[in-house]
Amino acid sequence: MSNSGMKQRLHDDMTAALKARDEIRKSTLRMALTAVTKAEVAGKEARELSDAEILDVLGSEAKKRRESVIAYRDAGRAELADKEQAEADILAEYLPEQLTAEEIAVLVTETIAATGAADLGPRGIGKVMGALQPKVKGKADGGAVSAEVKRQLGA
């Protein structure tokens, strides 16, 4: 099959969900595996994704689900929002623990101090975001991090 531990885990969990007749988990994991396969064949030549790349794919799928939940709730479609939320919860089991707003604020404060961007004000946003990205990748929503950086730099 594959030498990727994460892909194998997804496949094994989908098989278990199939046997347990857990429809939502089965369909969510099937969708996740399809997204991984799509990412593998995208580009000039097919390749196998690393576990980190698979986490990126799962993260973007989870983000799509979170955005859909908001859109469905705003449109008054609670049953669809609940389904999307259930899928997002299943995907979250495979992702690293997300940072809290307080943890993001502390990281931003430390990074602003380390980069010396406090003197630059709003012009330092790019510098801070560039330094923060590796620290928060997969652990926090980029929009939340960006908003905190802008808040602290007074933009």
What's the pLDDT tens digit per position in 40-68? 898 888 888 888 888 889 988 988 999 99
Amino acid identity for residue 52 in this structure? A
Contacts of 29 (CB under 8 A, 6+ apart): 10, 13, 14, 17, 90
Say if residues 23 and 35 touch (Cβ distance below 8 Å): no
Question: What's the whole-model pTM score?
Answer: 0.74
Computed over every residue of the chain, the mean pLDDT equals 87
Phi, psi of 58 (to 5 degrees): -65, -35
Q: Given a cut of 50, is residue 145 above it in pLDDT?
A: yes
How far apart are the C-alpha atoms of 152 and 155, rounded to whole Å?
Answer: 8
How far apart are the C-alpha atoms of 81 and 71, rounded to whole Å?
Answer: 8
Average pLDDT over residues 18-31: 94
Residue 1's pLDDT band, with cuts at 50, 70 and 90, is very low
Rg of the chain in Å (alpha carbons): 19
Instruction: Please tell me the predicted confidence (pLDDT) of residue 155.
Output: 64
Hey, what are 94's tokens?
């495979």
How far apart are the C-alpha atoms of 120 and 132, rounded to whole Å?
Answer: 16
Hey, what are 89's tokens?
């919860």
Q: Given a cut of 80, is residue 3 above it in pLDDT?
A: no
